[in-house]
Chains A and B, each alone.
Chain A
Amino acid sequence: MDEITTIQSVLAGDINKYERLVSRYHVGLIIYCERLVGDRDAAEDIAQEAFIKAFEHLQNFDSKKSRFSTWLYRIATNKAVDYLRQQKRRVPTEDIELVAETATPDYAAQDEHKRLRTAVTKLEPPTHRQAIEAYYWRGKSYQAIAEECNVPVNTVRTWLRRAKQQLRSDLQ
């Protein structure tokens, strides 16, 4: 079922279909929010409020004007900006459109996704691969991964940083 059809189903009353959208985007959206606000718990709250608000206003979503992901990310961005203002912190700027588009699973060619997945499977040592999978694909927090692996949180950060460096290198 494509995304537009999923949205139509939700609008037609099949609320459960919305779970597909939440499942598809929540990991990326939480990470995105975490980058903006620097706090995992806050990021999850912002992402959740964004999903709820998007649901409440789904009838106003216009697929001709933007992708759902772009719209969702914009809602989340506004909430993140509100949060940062509350915290009296500077608001970082990112190219929201591009980030949202890039986070959309259908955006890049499937071949490119396959290349990325293949590169991840080849990461060494295995802890790097596990960290990437847990954080980017299963939506685990640094803290959760650290507890699972029984290592400090900073070790997880290091694993992920090095894994991304390796992936960038492998894919060039």
Chain B
Amino acid sequence: MNDIRFESQLVAATDRRSDDTNNFVKNTMQKIRATQQPKKSFRHWLASRPFAQRLAFGAIAAAVVSIVSFTSYAYAVGSNPVDLIKRWVEGDKVKVEYQGRTFEYGKSRNYSDAAVTALAEANTVQALDSRAENDMYVPKNGVEYVTPPADETANGASYVYPYFATITSVDATTVTLHKDYLWGDKMNPSHDLDETITVPLAAFHAFVKGEPAQAAAAQDQLAMVYTNTYIRHVIGTEQVDHETNYFGFVVTHKLDDFKQVAGKGVTSAGKDEVIFEPNWGGLSYICSNNGADTCDVRTFSQKGNQGLFTSNIGPSTYNPHSIRYGEEIPTGGSQPKGIISRSVVGAITAITDSQLTVKTSSGALWNFAYTAADRAAFAKHFNPLKVGDHLESMVLESIYNLDNRTIDAAHIMSLERY
């Protein structure tokens, strides 16, 4: 055994690692928290691509599927996403087709044929919800929404799972829901609910057959409901509020069909593998927490990108001097206070001895503190920066100063040329 393998075994042999938090771990986690976006997921073990770090890029092309059954083949019965699910039965197996890919549910399954398409519908709804929630970030009518600061969410472990609810009434200002069932996962078991809530009509986004609809069209129907809280910012002012929004998708299957497959551990490879991927084609690539601009996630942190900072390892994407704790001195915790991260991507329009100006897809001009010394250090490794170069950045901003477009050195988390 060579030395490095022996050393690796030595490292692995400790039984104390889980308790060992040293400065490296703390520092790394602080950086990660500073960039984190709250993510939500429903049955990530099944579907999907949760938004992970770059929450706001999602959006999907409508997809999928039709419903039908029994013998040998299936046919599409409509054009809305849910109706496009295809399912057929062959012997002991039920198959679901999604955009030319077939997922097979073998005889060892312990749920009904109908549950198979219910599962497909649930995944389709998940994808539709991703698109709907993503659209929230695009500024409209002088208002923008951003995710709450990490200090509000990191300790709260923002699991947001959908629940099934019946829309029991809709009036001029409110929507009343009766919660029936929580769709959980390994960490949050599914279970029955019996709770009635009333939410503002303005904050309830109804979808019928996968398309936006009036809430009244959902009345007396079963829906999968997602809840998300945003920071609502009136652009051009310091006015920010928290606002909870509800996304209710009317479903076509019965609750019992969903219940059968809730909590099934079906991601393991095998005959009953039922991973069902929503169609992520046609992404709109809204910038994370910066819905006015578009970012192409494919450009981020790719090989060949050039970090604009310098660390012990030379060029670095990450700013070693970025603020770690937000605007406050930490008091026992390490969460940033009132700080969110935003993605900014654009082309350099001006370079001075103190800053770079970048124009984004919306035409906004962002100024990044970047000195002549920084540029000289960068130029030791790469071709010098010039007007027209494309940059991508993650910046830190206070939720009370969201109109700020001049970012000082402490609030630039990462910066790279691509």
Contacts and interface: CB of A to CB of B under 8 A. Distances in A.
B160 interface: yes
Contacts of A45: 311-313, 316
B20 A48 contact: no
Interface in B51-96: 51-54
Interface string A78-95: 110011001100000010
Contacts of B12: 28, 102-105, 107-108, 113
A96 to B, nearest CB: 10
Interface in B1-29: 2-18, 20-22, 24-25, 27-29
A122 interface: no
Interface stretch (B41-49, B101-109, B112-120, B173-181): B41-49
B317 A49 contact: yes
Interface stretch (B32-40, B190-198, B213-221, B370-378): B32-40
A86 B314 contact: yes
B217 to A, nearest CB: 31
B25 A23 contact: yes
Contacts of A98: 5
Given A102-B5, A117-B15, A139 B311 contact: no
A31 B159 contact: no
Contacts of B40: 12-13
A168 B38 contact: no
Contact of A56 (B8, B27, B54, B303): B54
Nearest to A163: B10
Contacts of B153: 13
B8 to A, nearest CB: 4
Interface residues of B, number: 66
A136 B10 contact: yes
A41 B74 CA distance: 61
Classify the secondary structure of A's interface with B: helix
Interface in B288-331: 300-301, 303, 311-318
Contacts of A8: 44-45, 185-187
B160 A13 contact: yes
Given A11-B39, A46-B313, A164-B6, A58 B52 contact: yes
B201 to A, nearest CB: 27
Contacts of A107: 12
B350 interface: no
B20 A139 contact: yes
Interface of B: 2-18, 20-22, 24-25, 27-29, 31-33, 35-36, 38-41, 44-45, 49-54, 150, 153-155, 157-160, 185-187, 269, 300-301, 303, 311-318, 381
Given A41-B312, A55-B32, 8 more contacts: A12-B41, A12-B50, A37-B313, A45-B313, A53-B301, A55-B53, A108-B13, A113-B12
Interface of A: 5, 8-9, 11-16, 18-20, 22-24, 26-28, 30-32, 35, 37, 39, 41-42, 44-49, 51-53, 55-59, 64, 78-79, 82-83, 86-87, 94, 98-99, 102-105, 107-108, 112-113, 116-117, 120, 132, 136-139, 164, 167-168
6 contacts: A8-B187, A13-B38, A26-B25, A94-B4, A102-B5, A168-B6
